[in-house]
Chain A
Amino acid sequence: MSSIKIELRKEDVDKINEICDSFGNEQSELINVLHKTQEHFGYLPAEIQEAIASKLNIPVAQVYGVVTFYSFFTMTPKGRHPISICMGTACYVRGAEKVLDEFKKELSLQVGQTTPDGKFSLSSLRCVGACGLAPVVLIGEKTYGRVAPDDVQDILKEYQ
């Protein structure tokens, strides 16, 4: 068995080290380090988790354990147009799941995935505070209200 080799760009390593240093390289600051790192890179791929583990001197298995425990952390990059479907109670009872299924079908995506061209990513969230507009879909900064499954194709066309 040969050892595992991870390749990273110098500026990325420097950034990770800078973030770890800013938290005093404390192992107990792992969650904060992951927050800052995801804020910078947009996601937390395996290579970056390896680099954080090495800098903070903790097993990478534990870093991965934390990343997979909290739904906020993601290992896949978000698309240029991140799609979020609200699955809060109000949206859910007004058919959000059917809307989500339609997005999944149209984009051939599962929740948490990104299209191969990096254009769209799909996620679900709990309540955006616009229950009067249920069901609600967010794409980037833009909000769509009272979305029906039939609207999905038209919405996606806006991003052609």
Chain B
Amino acid sequence: MRGRMTMETIKLTIDNKQIEVEKGTTILGAARRMGIDIPTLCHMKLDDLNIENKPGGCRICVVEVQGRRNLSPACITKCDEGAVVRTHTPRVMNARRTVMEFILSDHPKDCLICPKSGNCELQNMAIRLGIREITGQEIAEMSTYRKDTSPSIIRDLDKCIMCRRCEMMCNEVQTVGALSAVNRGFMAVVAPAFEQNLEYSPCTYCGQCVAVCPTGALTEVDHTGDVLRAIADPSKTVVVQTAPAVRAALGEEFGMKPGSLVTGKLVSALKELGFDYVFDTDFAADLTIMEEGTELLARLGKFLNGDEDANIPILTSCCPGWVNFFEHNFPDLKDVPSTAKSPQQMFGAIAKSYFAGKINVSRKDMVVVSIMPCLAKKYESQRPEFSVDGNPDVDFSISTRELAHFIKQANIDFNNLPDADFDRPLGESTGAGVIFGNTGGVIEAAVRTAYELYTGKKLSRLDFDELRGMEGVRQATINFDGLPINIGIAHGLGNARKLLDDVRAGRSTFHAIEVMACPGGCIGGGGQPLHHGDSSILKARARAIYEEDKNKTIRVSHENPYIINLYKEFLGEPNSEKAHHLLHTHYFDKKAKIIVKQ
């Protein structure tokens, strides 16, 4: 509180009400604190995650400041002592309407069939401002930029309003640098270098651009049609897996409050949709812990014996956006991440070998579908190394949003569905598998298992609060019975880059590092219901994930009876030759190369 007392404050008046704010506060920030909801379009702020987009470009948030000749954009104008601000004078409202009409004048009017319809910030703004006609529409030139379809993301730049949120996410938060504002005036768009398709850029398909796009300019590739065809084909056995973060967010698409856990309804809906087997990616997360944890202990053992080839720290490899990132940016370190495949791909490999054998279905007659909070998973499932003779381990990956559309189309009353249980054997999971959805969760799950396997002792507590939270980079030291293990955690690729730079420079003191590409982890993934800039939604989802963990009877991966059985019946030991063949992978150097001709 002492800091607050000495803080320099400013008094001003907004809409005839007085307020005192900290120096440096914007008019928008002050107004929101008073419950005055100045409309914004390009501005977006995710509290606690240090993410803010304020190019001051769209001019929707203009307000009148007494004594200033021009209207001021509230999102970037700082409060002055004694300022008198009005947010809804006729002049302001008229200007706001004109700005909106300009933005809409060259925007496609195909809202009825736009993938963003009903969830579009531009559409909502047009509704809010009551736009009924657009002055000068007859003479407005329309943009005709080509569409770009990549394995995960579709760019339809006719719908881009140059808010530049995607550019901010791609460059400042993720430091991927695939997108930049190019050209000027009417031709201005956000695009990769040389306006190439995304596929020929360093894009990681993390989907954070899609997660923040206010319009239909950036959307995911929709695979629900493929899934429907597979279900309709009587010769196919369709197996579905669902990622941990989906159950903590899907309810939002059906009007439930953020943080509602809908695991049982989700299973019911998937059965109702006609999937033959409804399984859980959490099972594969437990399997990942067995493989990755064993690899960690082996590398750690070497390291403690002074072996210089021990390759410490070990990095997690569950996140396909992260894998793409280091293949593009740190190919020299490609031996550092764990070779364990992601849970999605482990699941596919086991479903099409172990499980297909168990139910006597041939590989080609089995279709594996994944429900993911993620768009990079679409690309990952299409990697050639994850297929056998051209038949992919995971046939289709659809996002939480796509699943919600699918459920609505199938006339399912989601909110009133009874709870159902996952099928067995690939549907049984532990609390450790569930927390994979949160930043810090993978490493916490790994610590639970590695600790017990290394020390031979039971953990007295399973909640590692020191590994949880929303800070971009976190570190903790866990005592393995006298052996201190240093753990680093990063979420958001820009934060990961900081830890990777240390590893490259030999400065890193970590034994293990967890990276998730998306802010908050998978709960904030590019395929999740849109947060529209409200970070409390992400926090509610994270709480729901930890709640699900607490409710589980088994909370460490190595005690999952179906995992134990899988090793006994099929794989042998963790990191066995068969496990390596099915559950591990290798990485590629994808950095752009400059070849010097002599």
Contact = CB atoms under 8 A, between A and B. Distances in A.
Contact of A68 (B171, B183, B200, B593): B183
A46 B202 CA distance: 16
Nearest to B178: A61
A59 B177 contact: yes
B597 A9 contact: yes
A113 to B, nearest CB: 16
Contact of A3 (B191, B193, B593, B598): B593
B594 interface: yes
Contacts of A54: 592, 594
Nearest to A14: B596
Given A3-B589, A4-B200, A59-B193, A65 B594 contact: no
Contacts of A46: 193-194
Contact of A51 (B177, B589, B594): B594
A58 B177 contact: yes
A7 B590 CA distance: 16
Interface residues of B, number: 30
A86 to B, nearest CB: 21
A1 B383 CA distance: 9
B181 interface: yes
B512 interface: no
A9 B597 CA distance: 5
B340 interface: no
Given A46-B194, A49-B193, A3 B590 contact: yes
B179 interface: yes
A8 to B, nearest CB: 6
A2 B593 CA distance: 11
A64 B592 contact: no
A100 B202 CA distance: 40
B156 interface: no
B180 A61 contact: yes
Interface in A42-79: 46, 49-51, 53-54, 58-65, 68-69
B223 interface: no
Given A3-B589, A3-B590, A61-B201, A13 B596 contact: yes
Most buried by B among A1, A13, A46, A69: A1
Main secondary structure of the interface of A (DSSP, over half): helix
Contacts of B112: none
A10 interface: yes
Given A59-B177, A59-B180, A10 B202 contact: no
B132 interface: no
Contacts of B200: 1, 4
Contacts of A13: 594, 596
Interface string B94-107: 00000000000000
Nearest to A6: B594
A5 interface: yes
B171 to A, nearest CB: 7
A93 B371 CA distance: 63
A60 B193 contact: yes
Interface in B316-356: 328
B229 interface: no
Contacts of B594: 6-8, 13, 50-51, 54
Most buried by B among A8, A53, A61, A64: A61
Given A61-B191, A63-B193, A68-B182, A10 B591 contact: no
Interface of B: 171, 176-184, 191-195, 199-202, 328, 589-598
8 shortest interchain CB distances as A-B pairs: A59-B177, A61-B180, A65-B180, A60-B193, A61-B193, A3-B590, A64-B193, A4-B592
Interface of A: 1-10, 13, 46, 49-51, 53-54, 58-65, 68-69
